[in-house]
Structure 1
Amino acid sequence: MTEDQDILQEDNSEDLYERKLYHVDKGQEPMRIDKWIHLRLEGASRNKVQKAIEAGFVTVNGQQEKSNYKVKPGDDIVLMSLVNPEYTEIKPEAIPLHIVYEDDAVLVINKPPNMVVHPGVGNYSGTLLNGVLYHLLQQNPGLTEEDLPRYGLVHRIDKNTTGLIVLAKTPDAAAHLAKQFFNHTVSRKYVALVWGDVEQDEGTIVAHIARHQRFRKMFAAYPDGETGKHAITHYRVLERMNYVTAVECILETGRTHQIRVHMKHIGHTLFNDWEYGGDRILKGTVYTKYKQFVDNCFDLCPRCALHAKTLGFVHPVTKQEMFFESPLPNDMSQVMDKWRGYVQTKLKQSPNGTLDL
């Protein structure tokens, strides 16, 4: 294998794209870049490679080039491509979408709970992307995935996480947004309800994240940095409710389940996060009434209590900074109100005006 065939670096983007870096070796004969890339991407058609180049998914020495550019020794080529694109046919479905903003380039949606973002094993229909495809086809009946890969999906949020997600409506917009997510210039804040009284008002969690060694559907934190991918989460306490705490989380990186894994790592599992053990009492008393109260809270918010509250990015066309904010969904608002009421009642009943933890 020659030097130019070696991928020097392969980094996962925040969610759906990866960046592959190639260095062209000294013996390379002049060759069109579309052909050069086509020879190195298994399963990619020459036409798809050309469209990727035109959309800006490929740069040479930091500059965008056309498909007829001739690669030469010493060139550094960067390719943004879909990460592990598990191929599942996407069928349009008339699913109601809460569209927060839309123009010719981008689509911002407020995702409800219990909705998977894109089709995959076990979820072939009813996903956000099924609804997005239907919506896009009303505007452009001839649209295909060849024209717009994954129909503009550039990042994901978990099935039971609510909140804001942005999609691209053109290949150019997809390339622009994918680069922003990869470079971590997208501004996103989440609100989570976690078990326990978080000790510090604010802090930063630094711990690699990788699949759990025993439970392969879960992820785990590896603070020694020898396993998994680098991950950083900043958090700030919003409200303390003794047995639970509302926190704001800002992702400096964007790994799968990052907030859920990092908060569990510091001892504050997300409320009702069944995959990570948050669907049982982790803090509080042993009294039957308290158990009934918590069970009622689980019923009110029957999911992991996590909401993608804000989203900010640079518009791919106008280059203006865009910012969106989504209010807390009813299930999280109601369960937080219930905790506030519980704490206030207990404080009034306490002889010393404190609530023991």
Structure 2
Amino acid sequence: MQVPDLSRSRIQKLIDGHWVAVNHRLCTDKNAMVHLGDVVQLTIPPTQPLKLAPEPIPLEILYEDEHLLIVNKPAGMVVHPAPGHSSGTLVNAVLAHCGESLLGIGGVQRPGIVHRLDKDTTGAMVVAKTELAHWQLQAQLKAKTARREYLGVIYGTFEEEWGSIDAPIGRHPIDRKKQAIVAQEQGGREAVTHWQTEQRLGNFTLVRFRLDTGRTHQIRVHSAARGHPLVGDTVYGPRRSVGVNLPGQALHAVRLALRHPVSEELVVAIAPLPEHFQTLLAVLAQRCGQSPFRLTPH
């Protein structure tokens, strides 16, 4: 039996939890054989709300008022609690900073969260502090009027100075923990990434990415599909050392531009590069006799 949207381990847990029946009888054997004509009933239990607790975790705040908060997320921080990450998340930190008034904004389990960054991706993230702000900010992302720019270091170099990657992304057909280029008729969703070369560094390149869509692992998948995975990305790239200790993929959400949900004024947040990213750029520049990249607002 195959269920495309569920991993093997997830189905096994459903069997352990008595949520699967075969021919109207409860299935308790995870290795039971299914035969042609058998009727398999699988029930997805309702999601149990996570207990969210404020935690006094320091936040680097790039912008804040009574409607929204923009932070510079560090590497290693998960955005919201989930199985295996029940504490130490951005949501736990934001709850401590904003207070319980944030609870319920945009949903019970992910209060205030408008968009996400991968655990090891650093940079600018916006959090809504009111329902109006949450609705307005999500609408801007959907309409592509909010601009999200990233800096990433890739293996190799694109032949052109700039370009776009338009390729749908969906769950990997074999490894359910990964994403991949998947045709839309097979479940892939539209994904568009624009890129521009910032600095060529020998066998590496610093690239600025801009997203039209926000699919899971979008930049990582698109870059790898073009033959230029991100440095430090052991999921979609090689497990190859570059001589710098990196916490994960060299990807940083450097610039976030949006319209304020109330005043409609342009809000631009620039997230300083984390130390490990600066070190990587300095080492690569030194190897090929170049000056290190300097981040300037633009």
TM-score of the superposed pair, with normalisation by structure 2? 0.77
What is the correspondence of 1:155-166 to structure 2 with a 5 Å cutoff? Answer: 155-166=115-126
Contact 2:120–2:247 (8 Å) recurs in 1: no
Q: Are 1:162 and 1:308, in contact at CA under 8 Å, matched by a contact in 2?
A: yes
CA RMSD of aligned residues (A): 1.9
Q: 1:270 aligns with which of 230, 235, 245?
A: 230
1:253 matched to which residue of 2? Answer: 213
Question: Which residue matches 1:145?
Answer: 103
Change (3 A) 1:248 1:296: same
1:209–1:229 Cα contact (<8 Å) kept: yes
Structure 2 unaligned regions, length at least 5: 1-45, 291-298
Are the counterparts in 1 of residues 105 and 112 from structure 2 also a CA contact under 8 Å?
Answer: no
Bigger radius of gyration among the two:
1
More helix, by proportion = 1
Q: Alpha-carbon deviation of 1:189?
A: 0.6
Alignment equivalent of 1:124, drawn from 69, 86, 94: 86
From 115, 140, 165, give the equivalent of 2:77: 115
Please tell me whether the aligned partners of residues 161 and 196 of structure 2 are also in contact (alpha carbons under 8 angstroms).
yes
Deviation at 1:91, TM superposition (A): 1.1
Q: Secondary structure at the match of 2:235?
A: helix
Q: What amino acid maps onto 1:174 in structure 2?
A: H
What are structure 1's unaligned runs of at least 5 residues? 1-83, 281-293, 346-357
How many corresponding residue pairs?
A: 242
Is 1:322 aligned to residue 267 of structure 2? yes
Shift in CA distance, 87/207, structure 1 to aligned 2, threshold 3 Å: farther
CA separation of 1:241 and 1:146: change in aligned 2, threshold 3 A: closer
Aligned to 1:226: 185
Give the C-alpha shift of residue 144 in structure 1. Answer: 6.2
* Residue 236 (1) aligns with residue 196 (2): yes
Q: Is the 8 A contact 1:271 1:279 kept in 2?
A: no
Call closer, same or farther: CA 1:172–1:186 in 2, change over 3 Å.
same
Runs of 4+ in 1 over 6 A off after TM superposition: none
Give the fraction of aligned pairs with identical amino acids, expressed as a percent: 40
How far apart in 2 are the matches of 1:212 and 1:147?
32
Given candidates 238, 243, 247, the residue that maps to 1:296 is: 243
Cα distance in 2 for partners of 1:168, 1:147 equals: 7
Q: Distance in 2 between matches of 1:86 and 1:119?
A: 12
Question: CA offset at residue 146 of structure 1?
Answer: 3.7
1:206 to 2:151 alignment: no
User: Could you tell me how far 1:147 is from its partner in structure 2?
Assistant: 5.7
In 2, distance between residues paired with 1:207 and 1:324? 28
Q: Among residues 145, 150, 153, which one is paired with 1:193 in the alignment?
A: 153
Q: How does 1:28-177 map to 2 (within 5 A)?
A: 87-137=49-99, 143=101, 145-146=103-104, 149=107, 150-177=110-137
Deviations 1:176-216 (A, max 9, x none): 11111122211111000001122111111011100111111
Q: Quote the residue 1:71 is aligned against.
A: none
